[in-house]
């Protein structure tokens, strides 16, 4: 047996903390919406000659997800869609989410919450532990709909309440709103208050995009001791990809108070190498290659391999970043398991790593790292016994 085979078998039983994820669809979407969900970059309907299925992600859905719907691998898109529609969303959600082998979902509730299952529903559907991540821009936007009065204090109270009810992290999507090339100095309360007033009286519709308000949000989370998740790199075209290179975060990462909380660089593609370097350079910086993992499909092993170049192993995490189609919650885990078995297994087969070390490094990503940095209070699941030989 090769080490690749031994790892493949062992990692199947390794429960995962999915440290950045959203809920699955509550109700069935149209086929057009489903196919659009297989394309992250475009915010428009797909051109008529482009099928969401004709992509690495689409092929991965047909290969790996079809069997969970009682279909043959590589089934044609029409047959896949017909079976999916026949089962309906609650059953599709149940099948994919329970098959993901996830012990803990760490859920960003700040996007499209009305279309997807709530934390409580996710918990009862999967029996897994569920942890809340609050989205800073969503809190800011909600508070500002009531006007700017006392904004600074109201925002701080929201974050204190989130900590009180057990939220484990705060997430910022400033990548989408301003990019990372902003003034990272902590704004004064008076500046923030002025920005809030300007926002409500001026450009107050459209997404919150004032860097002072967003940077204030991040510092408020830091002051509360919350780990901060930052969307980095790949996303839909609302973001300027060249302005979300994580090395633009250096002024933030060099700020002494920020060094005291974990900073999670999410997704990172195509900047996973820069993110790996930052994880090596800063004791509090972590990364994952979630989201891109699903979109890379058969190329996921190369992406995972790059995430294991510069980053210390205590800094690499797993996430699916699934939102909407439950295929994505399952596929993230499926492709991660496939990729790590292949990549780390080959290092073992080549004689560079021991099999025991490979298992230990995967336990770090799957459980140890996220449990430590988010201080998860859920029970640690049983881990499979490491293979002693192959
Ligand atoms: Zn996300």
The CA angle 145-238-17, to the nearest 5 degrees, is: 85
pLDDT of residue 204: 58
Sort residue 112 into left (φ over 0), alpha (ψ -120 to 50) or beta: left
Confidence check: pLDDT of 39 > 70: yes
Distance from Cα 171 to the centre of ligand 1, integer Å: 9
Long-range CB pairs of 139-142, under 8 A, 24+ apart, other chains included: 139/110, 139/217, 140/208, 140/213, 140/214, 140/217, 141/207, 141/208
Ligand 1 centroid–CA 12 distance in Å is 24
The whole-number average pLDDT for the span 368-385 is 97
Angle at 365 between CA 233 and CA 331, to 5 degrees: 65
For ligand 1, the distance from its centroid to the CA atom of residue 68, given in whole angstroms, is 24
Is 51 exposed, middle or buried (CB count within 10 Å of its CB: 0-12, 13-18, 19+)?
A: middle
- The answer to whether the beta carbons of residues 222 and 258 sit under 8 Å apart is yes
**Gyration radius of the chain over CA positions:** 21
Over residues 308-332, the mean pLDDT reads 97
DSSP per position, 90-139? HHHHHHHHHHT-EEEEEEE-SSSGGGB--HHHHHHHH--EEEEEEEHHHH
Per-domain boundaries in the chain: 3-25+101-374, 29-87
Q: Poorest-confidence range of 27-36, 151-160, 189-198, 211-220? A: 27-36
Residue 206 has pLDDT above 70, yes or no: yes
- 175 CA distance to ligand 1 middle (Å): 12
* Assigned superfamily of 3-25+101-374: Metal-dependent hydrolases (3.20.20.140)
d(CA 310, CA 268): 14
- Looking at residue 205, its pLDDT comes to 66
- Which pLDDT score is estimated for 201? 87
How many angstroms separate the alpha carbon of residue 321 from the centre of ligand 1?
Answer: 5
For 245-261, what is each residue's pLDDT tens digit? 999 999 999 999 999 99
Instruction: Measure the N-to-C terminal CA separation of the chain; round to a whole number of Å.
Output: 5
Q: Give me the mean pLDDT over the 100-120 stretch.
A: 94
Is 90 exceeded by the pLDDT of residue 44? no
Average pLDDT of 213-224? 98
Q: How far is the CA of 21 from the centre of ligand 1 (A)?
A: 6
Please, what is the average pLDDT of the chain? 95
The 8-class DSSP code of residue 367 comes to I
- Ligand 1 centroid vs 323 CA: distance in angstroms? 7
Segment 50-61, tens digit of pLDDT: 888 999 999 999
Q: For helices 89-99 and 327-349, give the axis angle rounded to 10 degrees.
A: 20
Helices 89-99 and 119-126 pack at an angle, to 10 degrees, of 70
Written as one string, the DSSP assignment of 190-203 is HHHHHHHHHHHHTT
Classify each residue of 156-165 as buried b or exposed e, where b means 16 or more C-beta atoms within 10 Å of its C-beta: eebbeebbee
Instruction: Provide the pLDDT confidence category of residue 36 given band limits of 50, 70 and 90.
Output: confident
Query: For residue 212, how far is its CA from the centre of ligand 1 (angstroms)?
Result: 23
Residue 289's closest CA among 309, 312, 268?
Answer: 268
Question: How confident is the model over 182-204, as a mean pLDDT?
Answer: 92
CA 22 – ligand 1 centroid, Å: 6
pLDDT computed for residue 208 by the predictor: 86
At residue 152, does pLDDT exceed 80?
yes
- Contact between residue 296 and residue 303 where contact means Cβ atoms under 8 Å apart: yes
Ligand 1 centroid to 328 CA: how many Å? 12
12 vs 114 pLDDT, higher one: 12
Task: Summarize the confidence of residues 87-115 as an average pLDDT.
Answer: 95
Is the pLDDT at 203 greater than 70? The verdict is no
In the prediction, which pLDDT does 29 show?
A: 87
* Cα-based distances in Å from 25 to 2, 33, 51, 106: 39, 11, 21, 17
At 269-289, the pLDDT tens digits run 999 999 999 999 999 999 999
107: left (phi over 0), alpha (psi -120 to 50) or beta: beta
289 contact partners, CB below 8 Å, separation of at least 6: 267, 268, 269, 272, 303, 304, 306, 307
Q: Which of the two residues, 201 and 317, has the higher pLDDT score?
A: 317
pLDDT at 47: 84
Identify the H or E element spanning 189: helix 189-201
**Residue 387 Cα, ligand 1 centroid: separation in angstroms?**
34
For 337-365, write each residue's pLDDT tens digit.
999 999 999 999 999 999 999 999 999 99
Tell which phi-psi region holds residue 170, choosing left (phi > 0), alpha (psi between -120 and 50) or beta. beta
Residue 65 DSSP class: I
């Amino acid at each position: 047996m090769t080490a690749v085979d031994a790892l493949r078998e062992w990692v199947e039983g390794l429960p995962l903390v999915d440290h950045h994820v959203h809920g699955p669809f509550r109700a069935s979407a149209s086929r057009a919406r489903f196919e659009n969900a297989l394309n992250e970059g475009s915010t428009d309907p797909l051109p008529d000659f482009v099928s969401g299925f004709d992509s690495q992600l689409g092929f991965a859905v047909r290969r790996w997800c079809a069997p969970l719907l009682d279909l043959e691998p590589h089934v044609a898109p029409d047959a896949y869609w017909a079976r999916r529609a026949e089962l309906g969303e609650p059953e599709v959600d149940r099948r994919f989410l329970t098959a993901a082998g996830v012990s803990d979902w760490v859920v960003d509730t700040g996007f499209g919450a009305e279309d997807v299952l709530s934390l409580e529903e996710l918990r009862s559907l999967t029996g897994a532990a569920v942890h809340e991540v609050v989205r800073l821009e969503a809190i800011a936007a909600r508070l500002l709909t009531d006007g700017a009065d006392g904004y600074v204090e109201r925002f701080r109270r929201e974050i204190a309440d989130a900590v009180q009810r057990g939220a484990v992290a705060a997430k910022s999507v400033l990548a989408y709103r301003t990019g990372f090339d902003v003034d990272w100095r902590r704004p004064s309360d008076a500046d923030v208050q002025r920005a809030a007033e300007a926002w409500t009286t001026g450009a107050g519709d459209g997404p919150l995009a004032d860097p002072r308000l967003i940077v204030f949000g991040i510092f408020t989370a830091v002051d509360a001791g919350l780990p901060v998740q930052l969307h980095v790199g790949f996303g839909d075209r609302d973001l300027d990809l060249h302005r979300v290179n994580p090395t633009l975060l250096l002024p933030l990462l060099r700020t002494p108070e920020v060094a005291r909380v974990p900073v999670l660089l999410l997704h990172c593609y195509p900047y996973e190498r820069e993110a790996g370097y930052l994880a090596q350079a800063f004791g509090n910086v972590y990364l994952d290659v979630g989201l891109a993992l699903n979109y890379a499909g058969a190329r996921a092993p190369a992406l995972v391999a790059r995430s294991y170049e510069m980053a210390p192993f205590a800094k690499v995490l797993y996430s699916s970043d699934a939102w909407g189609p439950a295929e994505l919650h399952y596929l993230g885990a499926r492709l991660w398991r496939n990729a790590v078995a292949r990549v780390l297994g080959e290092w073992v087969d080549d004689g560079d790593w021991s099999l025991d070390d490979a298992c230990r490094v995967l336990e770090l990503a799957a459980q140890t790292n996220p449990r430590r940095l988010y201080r998860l209070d859920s029970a640690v699941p049983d881990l499979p016994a490491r293979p002693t030989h192959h």
